[in-house]
Structure 1
């Protein structure tokens, strides 16, 4: 079955595959015939979809209390049909909702907004905390750091590039394009060019680290505001050290970089970032404030007063007055918030844990805080879901109708979500069954979310990408 149909070896670790054989071996099923081609693609698929929907109900049941983020992303399928998929993200993980075939539609902001409204109405607008879209021209989102990744690649294989330029085989390429060949050779042996790459990587490293941290399904909405400020200060420090300037001096280069970063922040900063930041108890603690003399507690920061816009949008006048009173009590550490342990734990405990333990005296504020402190800040799960889509709806398997492909993606993605919530996923024979590759064992001590979020610049993933026994690659990695 594996060798004749091209099935991936990872199927042997699939718990559903194993359980089917266990059931068959322990049951009297003489004369049983496996399901037919038509049943698998029609009635059984719909039956399994309903079963998965039923299994997802306990997760959906937490949305009213914990809140949910709706994310969307667009791409074309192998038949060049434009698709937009929608997912719901909570602390439990990303749940696939649906994929919309947008053929013969004008994908402007009005069309996308109407699709988003349909999803929100189906979930219930009271449960939705935020909406995150992709970075298409008619949407707003962050840019990707592909250039930085490429520069890191160059630096990693510097020795290999130089060896290539002095090899006899280089002359074969040089004949095809002498201009490009000369340019490449000039650069790879230019120490100043490599110094420029190192400098570019050094001052962009804080930017890249922040984007990488936020580009996950992990709850980090409440961390973005502080991370942005910290990132800018790190960039400033690196540039000033390189230029050997004291902080009081002005750097024209830093001014350009700072202006670019601030412009990007102004486009992406929302009142929701400010509100979630102001509800994090850590940012009121003496320990956090004393780390930098320029820091202010959120209730003293004029810019963070944007949080008021959120209260005006979501609450009635009477509710807003009550929440404002509760926020004042929390921010100035009055009543129960003045307790020693409550103050002591603001810096040390996870913000959600602190809210659960100490926030009951401000019930409305506690409810909003628990929702906001559990939300992601990017639509990265939608991007990764296209890999699943390509796996099930490839160039070889392109005769599926969009609706049947959507049903397959729904079942596959959400079965993975449900499976990752079980203890068997992190141990035993079916450990991380949906992670394929011969180098699977190298992930033994890595958490599932870390594995799921690996990118091409991760050394763990490089071991899987590069072929075994490649002496040149091994030499580069040793360097």
Structure 2
């Protein structure tokens, strides 16, 4: 049993994260170790026992260049080890936080921990956002509000339904409901809309906006029967998307439309075949990238005007290649 315990403790010890020293700065590593990863290295990657270490000049000492490089290395490693996007460095709150923390009046400051970020500070920020949204909510009584709802999936493929309130003062996100394991019928959808209407106030709601799916249409009729002054409105973008889809992919049951628009379906299928042929073969994709700077857009079929967007990009690619051939000639 002691042997098993020792093996388990050894596995735990080996699985722990190691304290890798920071990169050695050019000014502090002259005459010393070039890697900064030796046995005599300290936490910042400089050699602590090197007798040939160059003394810092007065200017470097005045501006704390070594300490600045250590801080830059720690911040950079925070980004790398946590997988943070480099775009986060452009966040003004990120810059202001370090500027205030580095002021002389906050010497010895420690950043908030895990529990404080997820409890106290989160609740404080939530209350602040609610206070900032109060002027927009007060406008609902005078201008009225539209309740908009749509379904989507997150990165974990969980089905979500969001509820938004839109008025003249601007849109406001209310909530997102996880519908995993639920039967999404017209009654379930109608109950979500009715609950949101009651939270906003039925007297402030003018209409309910959803897409044109039969389920949403039936739920809208239930809401209209519940509240006589509220009417259901189909989404204009979804309506246009369905119209363009019928034009780009006509069916035989509408012979007049099929006769006039069948050529679009033929061109679209040829374009999809070319795109898939290029994107699914590495050699062809490499040849395409060498001769054209425009990327082939991968637009999902459920998105707005996906076929038209794809054909427009193919036309731009063709024009670019033609201009390149003319310039070479």
TM-score range, shorter chain: 0.3 to 0.5
The two structures have a TM-score, normalised by structure 2, of 0.44
Larger Rg: 2
Report which of the two has the higher share of helix.
1
Higher relative CO (Cα under 8 Å, sequence separation at least 6) belongs to 1
Report which of the two has the higher share of strand.
2
